Amino acid sequence: MRNESLVLNKKSWDEVAPRFFGRNPLPEYGPLAPREDELNLLGDVSGMKVLDIGCGSGHSLQYMDRRSTAELWGVDLSKTQIETAKELLKDSKAPVHLFESPMEENPGIPFTYFDIVYSIYALGWTSDLRQTLTNVHDYLKPGGIFVFSWEHPLHSRASWEGEELHFNKSYHEEGAYDHEAWHAPAIMQQYRVSTYINTLIECGFEIEKIIEDVSLTEEDRERHVNRWYSFEKAKMIPTTLIIKCVKKG
C-alpha cells in the first residue's frame, strides 16, 4: 500500500504543482492560521542550517534565505516541484540542496546536521508517519527544532452546511483517505492530534507548543470565501494544527 500511495501521489503532484505555486508558504503556516511573524516559533534563523520536508515550489526556503540562513535543504516527492524550487532559488545567498524523494526515505541528507527542520502543510502526505518523524529526528542536531503544520484533524471530518456544522466521519477513524477538496487521485493520511503527539514523543522529541488558533481578519474572510477553508467554518473549528518540538539533547 505504501508504494502504491507514493506512486499515485507523485503522479498527482507532478500534475497539480502549478496550482500550488507559492500557496501558503512561510511565514504562513496554513489557511486562516496565525503566521510565523506572530508566533515566532523558529526564532532568529540567521546562520542556521535548515531543512524543508515537502518543500514544494521552494517559497518557504526563499523566506528562510531572506532571513539569512546558512544553508537551505529541501526534499519533495514531486519532480515538478523540485524543478520549480531550483529555478526559484537559483539566486539564493545560501547554498541550496534539493532532493526529489519521498519523505519516508533518506536520499542523502546528513544526520545530526540541522538546526531547524520544518514542514508546512506536507506531513499528512506521508505514508509512514513514524518513519518520517524518525528521519527528522536523525537529521536534527541535539536541541534542534522541528516545527510542522497540517490540516487540523477535525477539519476534514466536518462540513459547514448552511448555518450548521455537520460531522461526516468519526474523529477516531485514522489512516489513508481520499481528501474531498483534492481534485486528482491521491491518498493522504488522517491521524488524531494524540497520534501526532505520541509518535513525536516516541521518536525522541519534546513538545514545546501546540497551536490550534485561527486568524479571522476581514482580509481572511475575503480570501477564503466559498473555499474549503471557509471563514464561517473556521469560527467553529480550527483549520490548522501547528506543533513545535525539540530533539532532546
Mean pLDDT by 10 residues, the chain (249 residues): 76 76 88 95 98 97 98 96 97 98 97 98 94 98 98 91 88 84 78 97 98 85 69 91 95
Tell me which residue of 19, 42, 108 sits closest to 98, measured CA to CA: 108
Give the pLDDT score at 148.
98
Query: How far is C-alpha 192 from the chain's CA centre?
Result: 16
Architecture of domain 2-247: 3-Layer(aba) Sandwich (3.40)
Give the pLDDT score at 181.
66
Give the pLDDT score at 8.
79
Strands of 90-204 (E only): list them.
96-100, 114-120, 140-151, 158-161, 164-167, 175-177, 188-190
Cα–Cα distance between 231 and 63 in angstroms, integer?
A: 26
